[in-house]
Amino acid sequence: MSQTQLDLSPQEREVLIELLKASLKEARVEEHRTRTPSYREHVLAREAVIETLLQKLALPAPPTAASAGSPA
């Protein structure tokens, strides 16, 4: 699986977290309302991806190239 690295400012990171939390909340409501098993599985898989993204964003941000080389 290919991975993509994304450099976000703190403000961009917070907005992305807010959007993902709102999307997760909507997906959970949709999960409870759906009656079609295959579509429910799709919604559950989407929830899992959103939760994984939120976990990754909750980790401390990696140091930037500028801050990694600067003296403390």
- 31: exposed, middle or buried (Cβ count in 10 Å: 0-12, 13-18, 19+): middle
Contact 48, 28 (CB under 8 A): no
Q: Is residue 8 within 8 Å of 16, Cβ to Cβ?
A: yes
Tokens of 47: 């929830």
pLDDT at 69: 53
pLDDT in tens, 31-71: 999 999 999 999 999 999 999 999 999 877 556 554 455 45
Q: What is the pLDDT of residue 18?
A: 95
| pLDDT at residue 25 in the model | 96
Interval 6-17 mean pLDDT:
93
Closest-CA residue to 54 (of 46, 62, 65): 46
